Amino acid sequence: MAKKMLKDLNVNEKTVLVRVDFNVPMKDGAITDDNRIRQALPTLEYLIEQDAKIVCFSHLGRVKSEEDKASKSLKPVAEKLAEYLKKDVNFIPETRGEKLEKAIKTLKKGEVLMFENTRFEDIDGKKESKNDADLGAYWASLGDVFVNDAFGTAHRAHASNVGIAKNISESAAGFLLEKEINFIGEAVNNPNRPFIAILGGVKVSDKIGVIKNLLAKADMILIGGGMSYTFLKSQGVEVGTSVVEADKLDLADDLLKNAYGKIVLPLDFKLTKEFSNDAEIRVGDANDIRTDEMGLDVGPKTLEKYQKLLKNARTVVWNGPVGVFEFSNFSQGTIGICQTLANLEEATTIIGGGDSASAAINFGFEDAFSHISTGGGASLEYLEGKELPGVACLDDLS
């Protein structure tokens, strides 16, 4: 069932509760990547233009104790948001209570208020993360309508999404959530073909559901990263000291048997004797890994083959780096995939959040893809074909 979108709501002069995803990486109190803040701007700018009274909120990391609060405050995020919006953001360092209620009541049209990290409510009984009924109802009572724009938590039923939606008269998806659902949903359910998925990262176990779902929908799945070795070992190939999920060998074998040739494994690797950027490198074929070697990146033959396979693709979904991209000497595979996808002019190219998204952004490819998802876990669950509670809870378009 199609969901209500932001433009289906009348928000003029209404108090609009906006769940954004400002769970940004921070170091020593400074934001190290503000992509999620920038991605939320279209929704917030539209609400400002429409003369709404805007109350935005988000989680930031995990908050388990009072001591966590100092490093998990959203204050620096509110300051960054004010810079981008070029207007004041009234930051209220509370998640409930009189001060917050009063500030919301006195909001004028076009003004923006942001309240403190929703997970401050997790210290005493995980109220936010366990979708405490009273908390959802309380937050809902603070506004007239609800806009969910947080894709990163859409795969979880929390008080700040599902709890609010359940208790408010109208709810809809914000522009970012709409974009995420459209891009990933279209890719999986109605792709232009050939549709090729690239899956990397360490764990096959994290991506079993995705592989199974994509085997039914994609034309090809190119494998890279640490999970390559579990697949290779499941076929009796020597993988040395490379990462392997020993308890997933049968599963990897089953996936390959049921793939009818759709799963493509790397041909060669950059091999080393230790897990270090400075270790000596040997490039070797997949069937030539020595017992004391580990693969930390795909090799040039693999990149060339993947480039050829991707050349005619019309839809590409990528999740998970194809090597240890954090080490400069083992980042070439992941950069090579970025470059290849950046050159596909006619394809819709989607990066499914997480490490591959930060790699693409850090390596300078932010504008080279059709869509870089803001949600790692959420995009994986969506790619698996699962319903996302943070979307399902929103009003249906009648």
For ligand AMP, the binding residue among 152, 191, 226, 299 (CB under 6 A) is 226
Pick the stretch among 202-210, 212-220, 278-286, 302-310 that binds ligand AMP (CB under 6 A).
Answer: 202-210
Name which of 85 and 281 has its Cβ closer to ligand AMP.
281
**Residue type for 113, please?**
L
Task: Please say if 233 is a catalytic residue.
Answer: no
- In terms of CB distance, is 176 or 294 closer to ligand AMP? 294
Name the minimum Å distance from CB 131 to ligand AMP. Answer: 26
Instruction: Please tell me whether residue 354 binds ligand AMP under the rule CB under 6 A.
Output: yes
143/336 with CB nearer ligand AMP: 336
The minimum distance between CB 341 and ligand AMP, in angstroms, equals 17
Q: Which is nearer to ligand AMP, 203 or 314 (CB)?
A: 203
The single residue among 149, 206, 245, 268 that binds ligand AMP, judged by CB under 6 A, is 206
Q: What proportions of the chain, in percent to the nearest 5, are helix, strand and coil?
A: 40, 15, 40
Q: How far apart are CA 357 and CA 56, in angstroms?
A: 25
| First-residue to last-residue Cα distance in the chain | 9
**Residue 372 in contact with ligand AMP, rule: CB under 6 A:** no
Question: If you search the block for the tokens 């392997």, which residue do you land on?
Answer: 244
Among candidates 7, 128, 105, 109, which has minimal Cα distance to 53? 109
- By the 8 A CB rule, do 63 and 123 touch? yes
Q: Which is nearer to ligand AMP, 95 or 373 (CB)?
A: 373
Under the binding rule (CB under 6 A), the answer on residue 202 touching ligand AMP is yes
Asked if 384 is part of the footprint of ligand AMP (rule: CB under 6 A), the reply reads: no
Q: Which residues of 200-232 are buried (b: 16+ CB within 10 A; e: fewer)?
A: bbbebebbbebbebbbebbbbbbbbbbbbbbbb
In this structure, what DSSP letter does residue 309 have?
A: H
Binding mask 292-331 for ligand AMP (x = CB under 6 A): ---xx-----------------------xx-xx-x-----
User: Is 136 near ligand AMP (CB under 6 A)?
Assistant: no
**Whether residue 36 lies in the annotated active site:** yes
Q: Measure the CA–CA gap between 323 and 300, rounded to whole angstroms.
A: 12
Count of chain residues binding ligand AMP (CB under 6 A): 17
User: Is 203 in the active site?
Assistant: yes
8 Å CB contact between 289 and 233 = no
Instruction: Write b or e for each residue in 295-320: b if 16 or more Cβ atoms lie within 10 A of its Cβ, otherwise e.
Output: bbbbbeebbebbeebbeebebbbbbb
CA distance 25 to 358: 11
Taking the complex as a whole, how short is the minimal distance between the CB of residue 266 and ligand AMP, in angstroms?
10
Region label for 353, one of left (φ > 0), alpha (ψ between -120 and 50) or beta (otherwise): left
Residue nearest to ligand AMP (CB): 201
Which residues are part of the catalytic machinery?
36, 203, 354, 377
User: Which residues lie near ligand AMP (CB under 6 A)?
Assistant: 200-203, 206, 225-226, 243, 295-296, 320-321, 323-324, 326, 354-355
